[in-house]
Amino acid sequence: NKSKEKILFDLLSETGSSPYKQSKCIDKILGYKVAKIERKLSQKYRSYDKYNDPTNKKKDFGAQAWVDLNAEVLQTPYSDILDALLELELENLNHICDIGCAYGRVGILSSVVFKGIKFTGFEIVKQRQIEATRIYHELSVENSSVFL
């Protein structure tokens, strides 16, 4: 049995596959329910580009929350996150913060790439924060949290 860490790195090292296909596959392996959550959000709240439109009957989120976007548009691909993390200087790095972290992909990768480094994410959409926290718990991701 391969660990989820090993599967993650195997998928990220594949060539020829688009970063978005890789990310969708990784999300599925990790157990994320992004499509389901985003579908429910789009049924309840106004689209990100219509948040100031009073003629729209859906609820106003109260802020521009980027609702009604495909996961590929909403989230940064894992490969891009990994590239960014690998560019960081490790000597002085002990905490990574992500404002608008969506489902907390940075927390997943930072926990794998940098053992012991703390990750704090902030997300305005409660359902995304709850899902990130659920996944962190299921995967026993340490030192990573997402807050509203």
Query: What per-residue confidence (pLDDT) applies to 1?
Result: 47
Token couple for 29:
């392996």
Query: What per-residue confidence (pLDDT) applies to 107?
Result: 95
- Residue in the block written with tokens 């509203």: 148
Model pLDDT for residues 61-100, shown as the tens digit of each residue: 555 556 656 666 678 999 899 888 888 876 678 899 999 9
d(CA 63, CA 13): 37
Q: Write out residues in the chain with pLDDT < 70, as ranges.
A: 1-7, 15-16, 46-73, 90-91
Virtual torsion, Cα 53, 54, 58, 64, nearest 10 deg: 40
The amino acid present at 26, given as its one-letter code, is I
